[in-house]
Structure 1
Amino acid sequence: MANTHLLLLSRWLTPVPAFLAPITRPGCRIGYVPTASSIYPDHAWLDLERDTLGQQGYQVTDLDPELMGAAAFARALQAVDAVFVAGGNTFHLLGALRLAGADRAIVDAVRSGLPYIGVSAGAAVVGPDIAPLALLDDLTEAAPLTSTEGLGLVEVTVIPHAEGTVGGRGPVEATRKRFGNDHRLHFLRDDEAIVVSDGTLRVIPG
C-alpha cells in the first residue's frame, strides 16, 4: 500500500500549500467534491473555497459523484493530483457517496497515494463511524443511509468546529458526553488541522 496523505480541516485552508508541496507538483489539479452541501441552497462558502484554492495556485475542477457514474468518478480521480471533499452535512455526504459508488473509489485512490483534503464533513467522513455527528448534523436532510460506518481512512472521528463556531458549544459538549466513551473522537478547532501520513496523526496550526 502506498503511503497515505490526508489533511483534515475544520474551516480554514491555510495549511493546504504546505501539505501538498512535498507530494504534488506546483499548480497541481485538485478535484473538488461539493457533495456534502448539495442539499443546501447557499453555496457561497464553496465558491470561497474554490477561489482560495485558485489563489493558492491550484487548478480546481469539480468532481460531483451525484452527477457521475461510479466508473466515471473513479476515472476522474485518476486525472487529478489531490481530492478535496468540502463540508456540509456529513450524513448526506456519506449516503450520497455510497449511492454513487464513490466511497470505494475515494478509499482506493487515497490508499494508492492520492492526497486527500477534507473540510468539516469532509474531515469527519474519513473516520470509522460518523454516528457521533448526530447532534451536529441533521440526519433527516441526508441521502438514504443504512450504516454510519465511515470511510475508515483514519482511526478517529473528527468533530469539527470544536470551539462551537457552528451551532454553539452546547452540541459539542453534548457530543463529548454522549459519544466520548464509545468512540475515539478528535475535537478539531477552526484554527487547527490534522495531518495524517501513513497512519501517523499530528495536529498543526490551521
Structure 2
Amino acid sequence: MAKLFLTSYFAEVASVIRDYDSSLGGKRVTFIPTASLPEEITFYVEDAKKALEELGLIVDELDVSTANTAEIKLKLKNNEYVYITGGNTYFLLQELRRSGADKILLEQIRLGKPYIGESAGTVILSPNIAYIQEMDNPDAAKELESHEGLNIVDFYPLPHYGNEPFEDAAEHIISSFSGEINVYPFSNNQVITVTKKSIEILTTVAK
C-alpha cells in the first residue's frame, strides 16, 4: 500500500485512505495539530478529526509544541498511522525540530509507517520549505534557523492549487520556482500517493 498520502484538504479526499487499507477500524492515528496553532482559521483541524473517525481510526492527539519526549516517542512509535494537519509550515518545522519529534518521525516513516499530511503536513516532507512563503508567514517561527525540510520526498508539493484563497499565491510560486525545483501542484480534491516504486496524483469527486 502507499506509505505517504499527501493532501491539501484531507476531509475532501479521506476516502482514498480506505481504498488502500480496508482494515482501518480500531487502528490508532497520532494526530499532530501543531501547525494550526498560529493560525486564525482552523476549521480543517476538526474536519480532519471527524473524517479520520469516520474511517474507523482512533484519533490520539499529540501537540509537539507542548508534549515531552517520552509522550512523543510513545505515540509516534506505537500508533499505526501518523497525521499532521495544515497550518503554518514554518512553525511546524520549528516545533518538530525543537522537540526532537522530527527525528522520531523520520525513523517511523522510513520503517514503513503510513503517513498522512495535510497542507503544511505535506510541505514539511520536501527538501526545503522556503518555496511556500507566499502561502505561509515565516515570522510565525522566530526560532527557526534553517528552512531545510524533512526531505522524505525529492519534490516540492504545492497544495491548494486552483483553490481560494490561495490561487494567486500558488501561481506565483510556480512562476518563481518551477525552473529551479520540481514543483507538484495539486488541488483540494487531489491526493499525492507515494510508495517506494511510484508517485501518483489521484483526483476524487469534489464535494
Superposition TM-score, scaled by structure 2 size = 0.90
**Shift in Å at residue 102 of structure 1?**
0.7
Unaligned runs of at least 5 residues, structure 1: none
> Any residues of structure 2 matched to 1:143-182 within 5 Å, and which?
143-167=142-166, 169-182=167-180
After superposition, the Cα gap between the structure-2 partners of 1:180 and 1:107, relative to the gap in structure 1 and judged at 3 Å, is same
Contact 2:106 2:150 in 1 (8 A): yes
Contact 2:127 2:149 in 1 (8 A): yes
Q: Tell me which residue corresponds to 2:18.
A: 17
**Shift in Å at residue 41 of structure 1?**
4.5
Aligned-pair Cα RMSD in Å:
1.8
2:160 aligned counterpart, secondary structure: coil
Q: Tell me which residue corresponds to 2:122.
A: 123
The answer to whether the aligner puts 1:63 opposite 2:62 as a matched pair is yes
After superposition, the Cα gap between the structure-2 partners of 1:107 and 1:51, relative to the gap in structure 1 and judged at 3 Å, is same
**Shift in Å at residue 129 of structure 1?**
1.1
Per-residue CA deviation, residues 101-126 of structure 1 (Å, 9 max, x unaligned), is: 11111110110111000011111111
Number of residue pairs aligned between Structure 1 and Structure 2: 201
> Any residues of structure 2 matched to 1:93-132 within 5 Å, and which?
93-132=92-131
Which of these residues, 193, 200, 203, is aligned with residue 191 of structure 2?
193
CA distance in 1 between counterparts of 2:147 and 2:104 reads 18
**Shift in Å at residue 77 of structure 1?**
1.0
Letter in 1 for 2:73: A
**Shift in Å at residue 4 of structure 1?**
7.3
Contact 1:4 1:110 in 2 (8 A): no
**Shift in Å at residue 58 of structure 1?**
1.0
Q: Tell me which residue corresponds to 1:84.
A: 83
31-40 or 62-71: bigger deviation: 62-71
Q: Tell me which residue corresponds to 2:36.
A: 37
1:15 aligned counterpart, secondary structure: helix
Contact 2:89 2:121 in 1 (8 A): yes
Letter in 1 for 2:176: R
Give every structure 1 segment of 4 or more consecutive aligned residues whose post-TM-superposition deviation is greater than 3 Å. none
CA distance in 2 between counterparts of 1:143 and 1:74 reads 26
**Shift in Å at residue 74 of structure 1?**
1.8
**Shift in Å at residue 163 of structure 1?**
0.6
Percent of aligned pairs with the same residue?
27
Q: Tell me which residue corresponds to 1:205.
A: 203
Letter in 2 for 1:111: R
CA distance in 2 between counterparts of 1:165 and 1:43 reads 15
